[in-house]
Amino acid sequence: MKRTLSLVVSFGFAMSSMVQANADEPKPPIYRVVPEKDRHKIVAIGLNSAGDLLAFRWTPENGDENVLEQAPMLFEAKTAKETRIPLLKGYTATLPAALSDTRVVIGRASRPSVNNAGQRLPFPGVAFVWDEKSGIRSLGALPDDAMSHADSISADGNLVTGISIGPNRVRACVWQRKGETWEIRPLPQETMHLNSQKIAISPNGKYAVGVDGRKPTLWTRGNDGEWTRETIGDTDSMITRAVNDNAFVAGFRFEQDARTSRNALIWSRETGMKVIERPKGYVYAELNAINNRNVAVGFVDGPHGSEIGPNACVTENGRLRIFAEHPEFSSATAIDDKGNIAGTFEEKEPGEIDAEIEPPAKNRILPKN
């Protein structure tokens, strides 16, 4: 039996430029796991540049220690302040997805589609935005649509990307802050359906990624505020997960080979679609996030039924490397430009080990690409 935990791993370097101090003796990253207490009570979602953590925390429901609920929380790094993200009026669950450097939180509020009287309710799921000053508010959906969810937010907190759902259509959309209100507009699409569960936006708000129909798509915001669309791969070539300010896109691809279900991928204009090599013994790989130093994180796993994995991983020297110093770190979900990494932790029972795992190199440096 496994319990899911949360952790934030941070790594520092002797030189901020990330250039090795001695060409013959590269300086390896140094990892530190925080918080040091109650990791088994936290499920991490994301980080901002200040190190603030967005997460779920297992909490007794209404004070009953026998009934636990996942409470959506914002943990501020500098002040250690903890804030619970409240419910949207009329809704029963708050599911945060991301936070900005300005501590604006976005996500989805949900409720049953029918009430106790059997009457159908509008908007069983709707995108929300929250900040400490203004509280939680609905972001609505595109005209005539019935559901929406917000997935990603720019660093300044002024642009939010997500998905709007209507009859026979699933559309990528963007909300833009206009004073105290938010305006929604669709992103240009070739089809009326998406094959990705999220639309991610870069920290600078210039790029967004998703899968339009079955093709990976990059949207670019021009100086006039208009968005243009381009296909960055063939049909079924990539499920996008994240994009950085350099238009590097991280994600994965489903494979036909029965021995390899998923391959981790990074796309850039310079290299095109590039498969990131997995560690020995692993057959599944996904990337979840990428920072502005083009370093991506995610997870790898072994064959079904094996004792290998899952393990969090980071791109390093064109390959994926697991965090061997933290063998129970099961998936990395976010990384900032300082090298802080958020993810989840699986507590393994005694005797449960990962087998046939390639050991880490003694000397390591973190590449810029």
pLDDT of residue 32 exceeding 80: no
Phi and psi at residue 69, to the nearest 5°:
-125, 155
Does residue 68 lie in a domain region? no
- In this prediction the pTM is 0.85
Does residue 52 lie in a domain region? no
The answer to whether residues 53 and 43 touch, using CB atoms and an 8 Å cutoff, is no
Among 179, 214, 237, which residue terminates a domain? 237
The predicted pLDDT at position 94 comes to 97
The answer to whether residues 340 and 50 touch, using CB atoms and an 8 Å cutoff, is no
Q: Based on the structure, what is the number of domains in the chain?
A: 2
Same domain, 222 and 343: no
Same domain, 227 and 311: no
pLDDT of residue 368 exceeding 60: no
Does residue 357 lie in a domain region? no
Among 237, 258, 281, which residue terminates a domain? 237
Mean pLDDT of the chain: 84
Same domain, 288 and 229: no
Q: Strand order of the sheet with strand 207-212? A: 200-201, 207-212, 215-221, 227-231
pLDDT of residue 209 exceeding 70: yes
Higher pLDDT, 263 or 28: 263
Among 196, 214, 237, which residue terminates a domain? 237
Same domain, 254 and 286: yes
Does residue 285 lie in a domain region? yes
Low-confidence winner among 29-43, 89-103, 355-369 (lowest mean pLDDT): 355-369
Per-residue CA distances from 60 to 63, 71, 95, 276 (Å): 5, 9, 18, 42
Residue whose C-alpha is closest to residue 159's, from 146, 172, 168: 172
Residue range 250-286, pLDDT digits in tens:
999 998 775 568 999 999 999 999 999 999 999 999 9
- DSSP structure class, residue 83: E
| CA–CA dist 254, 283 (Å, integer) | 11
Does residue 31 lie in a domain region? yes
Does residue 109 lie in a domain region? yes
pLDDT of residue 84 exceeding 50: yes
- Label residues 42-73 b or e (16+ Cβ within 10 Å = b): bbbbbbbebbbbbbbbeeeeeeeeeeeebbbb
Same domain, 197 and 322: no
Same domain, 189 and 265: no
Same domain, 218 and 112: yes
Same domain, 90 and 151: yes
What is the span of the domain harbouring residue 110? 85-237
Residue range 281-325, pLDDT digits in tens:
999 999 999 999 999 999 999 998 899 999 999 998 889 999 888
Same domain, 115 and 209: yes
Residues 6+ apart with CB under 8 A from 131: 102, 103, 104, 105, 157
In SS3 terms, 285-310 reads as EEEEEECCCCCEEEEEECCCCCCCCC
